[in-house]
């Protein structure tokens, strides 16, 4: 039975990035670039004005008699005529600098009267000029493989006239719930039955991670039904099962996976909740068998499946970076396991405080709904005092905005 960190290391060592696909530029947002993108031309493609103002020769601005305004050059129009000695050209931001000009005097630093312009401050060559190739040279790598595409990356790629880009493929994740007690949401409730919330919850978690969930029909607690659904699930890029992975009479998932020649890498991790989590491989296809308890299923997905999916989607840092937080209340963990504690986060002054989100009973979904993150309480401690500093993995992207 591996430890918590060891289990995560094992998972990440056994999964690899998917192949690439070409998608429209906006469809690449949030995806990982699969190949270097070279600049087909200099960026900028010509010397141009960084301000609305007057294109000048800096040395001409020493003339106390001013410079004659000889023309107007808007953005989008080529600079055809050279700047004559002793003159200035009114120029707009982004317009090509006319031949002979070497500086721009912004409107707010100039005074114009009777067709002449006077610089309030003598410019030097290069003032408010964006030089050709100053950003990126032709042929240079503009964006490296592995970059996560965001708004700035879209802007750069669009400026290179890219309408589509190669990105790492999103994995299809099959999600299978098992158990005779399960009903699909919308079916009439019957005695002894519960609704299959895990499949939808794990599908949502897969979507949040960037993958494509494929929810399979419920597999009942018999070998034939389970085998049929597992065979279907193994056709996906990854398979996540929930329930049937412990040691009960009807916990058949691991046995049937073995019958299908799936290699079990580990079973059980020293965590609470989620100890019976299993990880296996069918060829290169990762198989995660998570507990059936809804809270444990979601927590083990975040700790093990989400990093694996991020690695499969090409992320160079698949593990989220935890925040350091002070416990707002004392914790009495299980001494023999790492405790995953659901917490609310609050920024107080220059510190982040993690307080219990409610009852830590593994059947209480309301506590999961109210949690901002998961505090990692190390094994080997019989108590952890309030004020102790721990790692917390956030569950909500906006949970630390603002604060007291």
In the prediction, which pLDDT does 404 show?
Answer: 45
Q: What is the pLDDT of residues 200-239, one digit of tens each?
A: 999 999 999 999 999 999 999 889 999 999 999 999 999 9
For residues 276 and 298, give the distance between their C-alpha atoms in angstroms, rounded to a whole number: 14
DSSP string, 341-360: EEEEEEEETTEEEEEE-S--
CATH of domain 4-17+170-312: 3.40.980.10
Quick check: 75 pLDDT over 80?
yes
DSSP string, 153-210: HHHHHHHTT-SEEEEEPPPEEEEEEB-TTEE-TTSPP-TT-EE-HHHHHHHHHHHHHT
- Across residues 121-141, what is the average pLDDT? 96
- Across residues 186-198, what is the average pLDDT? 91
CA angle 153, 157, 163 (to 5 degrees): 125
Superfamily of domain 24-43+135-168 in CATH is: Molybdopterin biosynthesis moea protein, domain 2 (3.90.105.10)
Mean pLDDT for the chain overall = 94
Q: What is the pLDDT of residues 370-383, one digit of tens each?
A: 999 999 999 988 89
**Cβ–Cβ < 8 Å for 374, 325:** no
Q: Is the Cα dihedral 134, 139, 144, 147 positive or negative? A: positive
Residues near 208 by beta carbon (within 8 Å), at least 6 away in sequence = 306
Residues near 102 by beta carbon (within 8 Å), at least 6 away in sequence = 56, 57, 58, 125, 126, 129
Quick check: 1 pLDDT over 90?
no
User: What are the structure tokens assigned to 157, written together?
Assistant: 């790629």
- Across residues 307-315, what is the average pLDDT? 98
Q: Is there a cis peptide before residue 316, judged by omega within 30 degrees of 0?
A: no
**Where are the domain boundaries for CATH 2.40.340.10 in the chain?**
323-394
Residue 104 DSSP one-character state: E
Quick check: 182 pLDDT over 50?
yes
**Where are the domain boundaries for CATH 2.170.190.11 in the chain?**
48-130
Quick check: 403 pLDDT over 70?
no
For residues 2 and 247, give the distance between their C-alpha atoms in angstroms, rounded to a whole number: 18
pTM: 0.88
Q: Is there a cis peptide before residue 44, judged by omega within 30 degrees of 0?
A: yes
- Across residues 13-29, what is the average pLDDT? 97
Helix, strand, coil abundance in the chain, percent, nearest 5: 20, 30, 45
Beta-carbon-side half-sphere exposure of residue 328 (alpha carbons within 13 Å): 17
In the prediction, which pLDDT does 250 show?
Answer: 62
Quick check: 189 pLDDT over 80?
yes
Quick check: 343 pLDDT over 80?
yes
- The CATH topology of domain 323-394 is Beta-clip (2.40.340)
Residue scoring higher pLDDT (37 or 400) = 37
Quick check: 402 pLDDT over 60?
no
What is the percentage of the chain residues whose pLDDT exceeds 90?
A: 86
- Across residues 347-355, what is the average pLDDT? 93
What is the percentage of the chain residues whose pLDDT exceeds 70?
A: 98
**Where are the domain boundaries for CATH 3.40.980.10 in the chain?**
4-17+170-312
Q: Which of 343, 360, 380, 338 is nearest to 7 (CA)?
A: 338
User: What are the structure tokens assigned to 292, written together?
Assistant: 């059936």
In the prediction, which pLDDT does 334 show?
Answer: 84
For residues 272 and 215, give the distance between their C-alpha atoms in angstroms, rounded to a whole number: 27
Q: How confident is the model at residue 397 (pLDDT cuts 50, 70, 90)?
A: confident
User: What are the structure tokens assigned to 17, written together?
Assistant: 């990035």
Q: What is the pLDDT of residues 247-274, one digit of tens each?
A: 665 678 999 999 999 999 999 999 999 9
**Where are the domain boundaries for CATH 3.90.105.10 in the chain?**
24-43+135-168
Superfamily of domain 48-130 in CATH is: Molybdopterin biosynthesis moea protein, domain 3. (2.170.190.11)
- Across residues 67-80, what is the average pLDDT? 93
In the prediction, which pLDDT does 251 show?
Answer: 76
**Cβ–Cβ < 8 Å for 108, 51:** no
Residues near 8 by beta carbon (within 8 Å), at least 6 away in sequence = 303, 304, 307, 319
DSSP string, 194-205: EE-HHHHHHHHH
């Amino acid at each position: 039975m591996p430890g918590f960190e060891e289990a995560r290391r094992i998972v990440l060592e056994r999964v690899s990035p998917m192949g690439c696909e070409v998608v429209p530029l906006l469809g690449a947002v949030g995806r990982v670039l699969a190949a270097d993108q070279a600049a087909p031309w200099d960026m900028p493609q010509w010397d141009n004005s960084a301000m609305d103002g007057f294109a000048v020769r800096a040395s001409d601005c020493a003339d106390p008699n001013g410079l004659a305004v000889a023309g107007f050059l808007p953005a989008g129009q080529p600079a055809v005529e050279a700047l004559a000695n002793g003159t200035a050209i009114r120029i707009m931001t982004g317009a090509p600098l006319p031949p002979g000009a070497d500086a721009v005097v912004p409107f707010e630093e100039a005074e114009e009267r009777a067709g002449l312009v006077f610089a309030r401050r003598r410019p030097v060559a290069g003032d408010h000029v964006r030089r050709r190739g100053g950003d990126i040279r032709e042929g240079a790598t503009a964006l490296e493989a592995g970059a996560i595409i965001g708004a700035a990356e879209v802007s750069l790629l669009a400026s290179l006239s890219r309408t589509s880009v190669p990105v790492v493929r999103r994995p299809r994740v099959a999600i299978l719930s098992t158990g005779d007690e399960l009903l699909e949401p919308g079916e009439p409730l019957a005695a002894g039955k519960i609704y299959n919330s895990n499949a939808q919850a794990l599908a949502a978690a897969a979507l949040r991670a960037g993958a494509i969930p494929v929810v399979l029909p419920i597999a009942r607690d018999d070998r034939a039904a389970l085998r049929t659904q597992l065979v279907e699930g193994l056709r996906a890029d990854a398979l996540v099962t929930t329930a049937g992975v412990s040691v009960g009479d009807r916990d058949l998932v691991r046995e049937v996976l073995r019958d299908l020649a799936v290699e079990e890498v580990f079973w059980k991790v020293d965590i609470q909740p989620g100890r019976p989590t299993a990880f296996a491989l069918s060829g290169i296809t990762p198989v995660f068998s998570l507990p059936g308890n809804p809270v444990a299923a979601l927590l083990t997905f975040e700790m093990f499946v989400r990093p694996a999916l991020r690695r499969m989607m090409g992320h160079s840092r698949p593990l989220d970076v935890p925040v350091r937080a002070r416990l707002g209340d004392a914790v009495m963990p299980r001494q023999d396991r790492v405790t995953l504690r659901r917490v609310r986060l609050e920024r107080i002054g220059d510190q982040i405080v993690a307080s219990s989100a409610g009852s830590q009973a593994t059947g209480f979904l309301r506590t999961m709904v109210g949690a901002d993150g998961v505090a990692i309480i190390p094994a080997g401690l019989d108590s952890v005092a309030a004020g102790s500093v721990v790692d917390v993995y956030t569950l909500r992207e906006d949970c630390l905005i603002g604060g007291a």
